[in-house]
Amino acid sequence: FSKLKTQLQKDLEEAKVLLEKATRKRVRDALTAEKSKIETEIKNKMQQKSQRKAEPLDNEKPAAVVAPITTGYTVKISNYGWDQSDKFVKIYITLAGVHQVATENVQVHFTERSFDLLVKNLNGKSYSMIVNNLLKPISVEGSSKKVKTDTVLILCRKKTENTRWDYLTQVEKECKEKEKPSYDTETDPSEGLMNVLKKIYEDGDDDMKRTINKAWVESREKQAKGDTEF
């Protein structure tokens, strides 16, 4: 974490230096946007670090459990955790006492792109969960459920093995992608600034290229002198 934070801080300093040198509006706008993005990323990393310190370690169940929403005698399950292996997408639903319910009262119905869970007669109520528009097709025959202590585990067999699911559903994917910034820096925090400058350089005229080259050289010199600050 500290290494990543240092990298982000260096990127931020470099963006500031380049911003001071830049005179073209387009260059300044792009660098200002990148600077704000790096600042947000540093803030998010700090928050994640604080949360990790505050949260107890729990390797068994990947998601926090919140009380389900009650609607009459049927409770709609809206909280779950999920992870995956090469062959399966695994959904964890926590229901206190579910392991004491008769086996036939825990039912899961699969289709190629959905599943629905119904738990009957658990403490006098029924519990249901429907997930439509799964990100990728699943094998209906290869999918199954397991009931463990206070947990229902739904195993969706991937139709294409060894493929990674970044999201559980297509809707979740679309929502997340709308939130994504235009320059994606998930792989390496240093790439964002490089991509911005590269794009401006490639699209720019000779004056813009000279401006960027000059600012780049000066920022590198300043960074070399100021490395000890970090």
Domain ranges of the chain: 1-49, 74-173
The torsion of the CA quartet 97, 98, 101, 107, rounded to 10 degrees, works out to: 170
Q: Could you tell me which CATH class the domain 1-49 is placed in?
A: few secondary structures
Interacting residues of 202 by C-beta distance below 8 A, sequence separation 6+ = none
Q: In a structure prediction context, what are the per-residue pLDDT tens digits for the chain, which is 230 residues long?
A: 566 667 778 888 888 888 888 888 888 888 888 888 888 888 888 887 777 666 555 555 555 555 555 444 789 998 899 999 999 999 999 999 999 999 999 999 999 999 999 999 898 899 999 999 999 999 999 999 999 999 999 999 999 999 999 999 998 888 887 776 655 545 565 666 677 777 777 777 777 777 777 777 777 777 676 655 44
The helix/strand/coil state of 200 is: helix
Return the structure tokens found at 26.
């387009």
Q: Give yes or no for a contact between 3 and 189, defined as CB atoms under 8 angstroms apart.
A: no
Query: Can you tell me the distance from the alpha carbon of 220 to that of 134, in angstroms, rounded to the nearest whole number?
Result: 47
Assign 3-state DSSP to the chain and report helix, strand, coil percentages, each to 5: 45, 25, 30
The helix/strand/coil state of 95 is: coil
- What's the CATH number for 74-173? 2.60.40.790
Q: Give yes or no for a contact between 203 and 26, defined as CB atoms under 8 angstroms apart.
A: no
Q: What is the pTM of this model?
A: 0.48
